[in-house]
């Protein structure tokens, strides 16, 4: 049986931490930053975690 390939789009967007959580960068930090408030941009700096069934699906895409 052939090996399962890692999903190229998922490996660019998600990381699996040592504890098994799925971490991702908040979207909205790419362009049009002058129109966004400083506090909003500050909150976008921090990453966030995905929980539940979505995390399981992403781990499947990442072969973890």
pLDDT at 23: 97
Q: Is the pLDDT of residue 1 over 90?
A: no
pLDDT by residue (tens digit) across 8-63? 999 999 999 999 999 999 999 999 999 999 999 999 999 999 999 999 999 999 99
**Which domains are seen in the chain, by residue range?**
8-61 (4.10.410.60)
What count of other Cβ atoms lies within 10 Å of the Cβ of residue 58?
A: 19
User: What Cα–Cα distance (Å) separates residue 53 from each residue in 16, 32, 39, 42, 60?
Assistant: 15, 32, 31, 28, 11
Q: What predicted TM-score, i.e. pTM, was given to this entire model?
A: 0.81
Cβ(45)–Cβ(25) under 8 Å? no
């Amino acid at each position: 049986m052939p090996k399962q390939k890692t999903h190229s789009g998922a490996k660019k967007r998600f990381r699996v931490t040592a504890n098994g959580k799925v971490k991702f960068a908040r979207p909205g930090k790419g362009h049009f930053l002058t129109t966004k408030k400083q506090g909003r941009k500050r909150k976008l700096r921090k990453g966030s975690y995905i929980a539940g069934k979505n995390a399981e699906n992403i781990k499947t895409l990442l072969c973890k």
